[in-house]
A = this chain, B = another copy of it.
Amino acid sequence: MTYEVVVIEGDGIGQEVVPAAVAVLESLDIDFEFATADAGDATKEATGEALPAATYEAAANADATLFGAAGETAADVILPLREAVGSFVNIRPAKAYPGVDAVRPETDVVFLRENTEGVYAGHEDRLSEDLSTLTRVVTSSASRELAEYACEFVADGRGPDHRDGFTVAHKANVMRETDGRFRNEVLSVADEHGVDADEELMDAFATKLPLDPSQYGVVVCPNLAGDVLSDLAAGLVGGLGLLPSANIGHDNALFEPVHGTAPDIAGEGIANPTAAILSAAMLVEYLGHVEAGRRVRDAVESVLSDGPRTGDLGGSATTDEVTAAVVDRL
Contacts and interface: CB of A to CB of B under 8 A. Distances in A.
Contact of A206 (B125, B136, B171, B235): B235
Q: Which of A104, A139, A207, A231 has the most CB of B within 10 A?
A: A207
Contacts of A239: 207, 211
A273 to B, nearest CB: 20
Interface in A196-237: 202-204, 206-211, 224, 227-229, 231-232, 234-236
A74 interface: yes
A30 interface: no
Contact of A235 (B119, B202, B207): B207
Contact of A177 (B134, B209, B210, B238): B134
A26 interface: no
Q: Which of A137, A211, A238 has the most CB of B within 10 A?
A: A211
A47 interface: no
Nearest to A232: B206
A103 interface: yes
Nearest to A133: B135
B141 A130 contact: yes
A173 interface: yes
A240 interface: yes
A138 B176 CA distance: 19
A75 interface: yes
A124 interface: yes
A130 B210 CA distance: 35
B210 A210 contact: yes
A176 B120 CA distance: 11
A140 interface: yes
Given A131-B138, A134-B175, A141-B130, A228 B202 contact: yes
A43 interface: no
Contacts of A61: none
A232 to B, nearest CB: 4
A315 B275 CA distance: 43
Given A206-B232, A207-B235, A207-B240, A131 B139 contact: yes
A249 B209 CA distance: 32
Interface in A102-147: 103-104, 119-120, 122, 124-126, 129-141
B211 A103 contact: yes
A53 interface: no
Contacts of A173: 74-75
A80 to B, nearest CB: 13
A124 B175 contact: yes
Contact of A135 (B134, B139, B211, B228): B134
A313 to B, nearest CB: 14
